[in-house]
Amino acid sequence: MKIAIVGLGLIGGSLAKAAKQHGEYCVYGLDIDPAVCRQAQHLQAIDREGQTDDLQNCELVILALHPLAAEEWLRQNADKLRQGSLLVDCCGTKRRICELGFSLAQRYGFYFIGGHPMAGIERSGFEASNADLFKRAAMILTPEEKCPTEVLEFAKNFFLGLGFNRITVTNAKDHDRIIALTSQLAHVVSSSYLRSPTAAQHEGYSAGSFRDMTRVAWLHEGMWTELFLQNSDFLCSEIELLIANLRCFQELISQQQEEQLRQHLKEGRLLKEKIMPI
């Protein structure tokens, strides 16, 4: 089967490597930087650099670009996709890209499913890509309600074949609502946490807690700015709730409310045990 991967950064490059390692695919790689395509071909992550004319020959196209670039690529190239083929994007927010993708798919006769690989590391670019990046990871798919069952099953089987061990099927709105907490808020908190002047004095005073709290502050600010702004309603709601919870802690601590503080901490521990049991 011929597939095209648009964008050979961390996610696109890892998808290409996984496809070549785990399946019998002819992989076309498209990237704004020809040198990346040459490197990918040299490492046998792709079979050759793809051109827009090659899209007509592909049953599957994976769009692994940042949100705004993905939207622009869709607008410019939707008419070049093969009728009946499937396009899956990899953006971290789903409402905008799905609205556009569903509309263009209906107009030009292809299928569109929103996608979000729940895997990543603190580095970016093709050089950081890894065929094993998706092992034991979840892949979120946000199909249109009228998406044919066989198309969705095709997408599920493809990604399971690359090493994902779980496929979560949802709609774009619920994806964005939940991801605001599970992913985006964590990046906001990590970036905020490091803004304390005390953070620069951590050496000799820090261990796992500090590393865990600061890990995702190492991010691609361009991409995360786009993601935050595209999901501002849900993300701001989560930020407001977090601020309220922090203020509660602040009041209990400043007022020396020992028993209430102990109970508050216990409630948090019990929530952790319920939501994420050991």
Residue 122 pLDDT: 76
Phi, psi of 252 (to 5 degrees): -60, -40
**Please, what are the domains in the chain?**
2-170 (3.40.50.720), 175-275 (1.10.3660.10)
Q: 184: which residues sit within 8 A by CB, 6+ positions away?
A: 92, 224, 227, 228, 231, 235, 238
Residue 182 pLDDT: 97
Residue 90 pLDDT: 97
Residue 72 pLDDT: 98
The 3-state DSSP class for residue 97 equals helix
Q: What pTM value is reported for the model? A: 0.94
Question: How far is 214 from 52, CA to CA, in rounded Å?
Answer: 41
**What is the amino acid identity at position 106?**
Q
Residue 177 pLDDT: 98
Residue 205 pLDDT: 87
Q: What is the pLDDT of residues 32-66, one digit of tens each?
A: 999 999 999 999 999 999 999 999 999 999 999 99
**Average pLDDT per block of 10 residues along the chain, 278 residues long:** 97 96 94 96 96 96 97 98 98 98 98 95 87 95 97 98 96 98 97 95 90 91 97 98 98 98 97 91
Residue 121 pLDDT: 79
H-helix or E-strand spanning residue 43: none
The DSSP secondary-structure symbol of 205 reads T
Question: Residue for token digits 């994976």?
Answer: 62
The DSSP secondary-structure symbol of 82 reads P
Could you give the C-alpha distances from 177 to 109, 136, 160, 185, 228, in angstroms and in order? 30, 23, 25, 11, 12
